[in-house]
Amino acid sequence: MRRLRTCLGAAAAAVSVAVGAGTLAATDAAGATSALSNNWYAAAPYLMPLDNDPPDAAAIMDATGLKAFQLAFVLAPNGGGCSPTWGGTAAVSSDTAVKAVIDKIRSKGGDVSVSIGGYGGTKLGQVCADASATAAAYQQVITKYGLHAVDFDLEEPEYENTAAIRNEIGAAKILQQNNPGLYVSVTTAGTADGTGWFGKQMLLEAKSQGFTPNNFSIMPFDGGFNGAASQTSALTNFNQILQSTFGWDQATAYAHEGFSGMNGRSDTGEIFTQADFQTVLDYATGHHMDRFTFWSLNRDRQCATPDNGGRTSGTCSSVAQNAWDFATYSVRFAGATPPSTPPTTPPPTQTPTPGGACTSAWSPTAVYTAGDEVSYGQHNWKAKWWTQNETPSAVPWGPWQDEGAC
C-alpha cells in the first residue's frame, strides 16, 4: 500500500494503533491536561505539523468545531537507535515546535494523538530489541507531551516484517496495561475483501498476544476503490473477518471496527468527494462503528486548480471544495455540529479601493484575532481568526481577507 509522505504526505496507516483515554490523567510540562471524550480521539484527522505546508490547527478548530488532531509522524532516528524522533531527524526529547502546536490546540479546549510510523523511514518496531524496548521508546513520547492518545501507523516494509509487527503489537499491549483507561485502535490496510494477508496476520498476532483494542480500522483506498460504495463493501467484508477471527457477533464486530479514508484524490488516482465521505459516515454511524478518520488536514483545501493538473498533492485535495470541508465529517462523527458557515469559506471577491489610508503594518511577531486590521503589500487586510506569523495573502484557506489597496 503506497503512501505519499515526504513530498506529498503519508496516508493514514497501513497499520495504526491509536491510543486515547477518556479518563486517563496524563500530565506534561505545563501540568495536568484533560482528556476529550473517546469519540473525539476516534474522529481525529491526521495533520503533519512540520511538513506539507501545515495549516493552522486553531483556525481549523474555529472554522469547523474540530477538537482532536492526529499528529504525524514519530520514527526511529535516521542514523539508527531506539529513540523517538519526528520524521527520523528531530529528537522528541528536545522538540519545541510540535509542543507549541499541541499547547495551542489545548489552549482552545482540544487535544492530540501522536502518530507513529507512516510510509517511509525506519519504524521503532524494526530497530528496538523487543516489545518492551519499543514500548519504552513510545512511553517517552507519551510523557513528553502528556498524551491521552497515540497512533501506531505501521506500513511497508515494517508491515511485512513479522518480528517488527510483534514488537509493535506487544508495545501497544504494554502501553495499554501501563496507562489504565487507554482508548486503543489498530488500523490495517484495506482491500475489496476487507483486508489482505498481512492485515489478517496482524489480527492473528493481536489475538495470540491477548491484545484487544477498542477497534480495528481499515483504509479502503489505494487499492482499486471507486467511491463510497466500494468502501462500505470493504467495511462489510472486514466486519466478517473480525467475526471469524475473534468469535464476535456482527454488532460486537462493528463496535470494534473503524474507517480511515483519504480525502480527494488518492495516491493511485482514486477520487473521494464530500458525498463519498457523507455516505461512509452514514454507514459508520448507522452500524455504530468506533472510528472515522482520514488523511489529511494538510490536504483539506482546494488546489490552485481543482484537479491540481491531474496529480495527487500533500497540501491540497485535488477536488473542488471549501477549506476544511472534509474535517466537518470528523466533527459529525464525534457527535458535534459544525458551524453552518465556516469562516474559512472563501469570501466574496473584494474590489480594491485605491487611495484609502493604510492601517498599521503587519508584524510577524504580533498576535491577531478576528476583525483585526493590518496593512501589507500596499493593501489593507482583515484577520478572519486568530493568527500569528502568517503573511497576509488572498489564498481562500488563509487567515486574511483582502480589504483592498491603500
Residue 104 has pLDDT above 50, yes or no: yes
pLDDT of residue 180: 82
pLDDT of residue 395: 53
**pLDDT tens readout for residues 226-265:** 999 999 999 999 999 999 999 999 999 999 999 999 999 9
**pLDDT tens readout for residues 330-340:** 999 999 999 98
pLDDT of residue 267: 94
pLDDT of residue 9: 42
Q: Which domains are present in the chain?
A: 15-333 (3.20.20.80), 347-406 (2.10.10.20)
Residue 38 has pLDDT above 60, yes or no: yes
Q: What average pLDDT does the chain have?
A: 85
pLDDT of residue 402: 80
CA distances from 210 to 24, 152, 174, 175, 404 (A): 22, 18, 11, 14, 63
**pLDDT tens readout for residues 57-91:** 999 999 999 999 999 999 999 999 999 999 999 99
User: Highest mean pLDDT range out of 145-159, 272-286, 389-403?
Assistant: 272-286
Residue 399 has pLDDT above 50, yes or no: yes
Cell for 351? Answer: 474590489
**pLDDT tens readout for residues 302-327:** 998 877 778 899 999 999 999 999 99
**pLDDT tens readout for residues 262-284:** 999 999 999 999 999 999 999 99
pLDDT of residue 187: 82
Cell for 243? Answer: 467475526
Average pLDDT over residues 354-379: 77
pLDDT of residue 400: 75
Which segment of 23-32, 39-48, 84-93 scores lowest on mean pLDDT? 23-32
Average pLDDT over residues 293-309: 90
**pLDDT tens readout for residues 4-20:** 543 444 443 344 455 44
Looking at per-residue pLDDT, the higher value among 49 and 28 belongs to: 49
Rg of the chain's alpha carbons, rounded to an integer?
A: 21
Q: Tell how strand 215-219 and strand 257-262 pair up.
A: parallel
Residue 30 has pLDDT above 50, yes or no: no
Residue 364 has pLDDT above 80, yes or no: no
Rounded to two decimals, what is the model's pTM?
A: 0.80
pLDDT of residue 108: 96
Residue 1 has pLDDT above 70, yes or no: no
Work out the percent of the chain whose per-residue pLDDT is above 90.
63
Query: Is 155 among the catalytic positions?
Result: yes
Looking at per-residue pLDDT, the higher value among 346 and 249 belongs to: 249
Catalytic residue chosen out of the listed positions 155, 168, 257, 270: 155
Q: Tell how strand 367-368 and strand 387-388 pair up.
A: antiparallel
Looking at per-residue pLDDT, the higher value among 370 and 299 belongs to: 299
Average pLDDT over residues 343-358: 47
**CA 127 to CA 212: how far, in whole Å?**
25
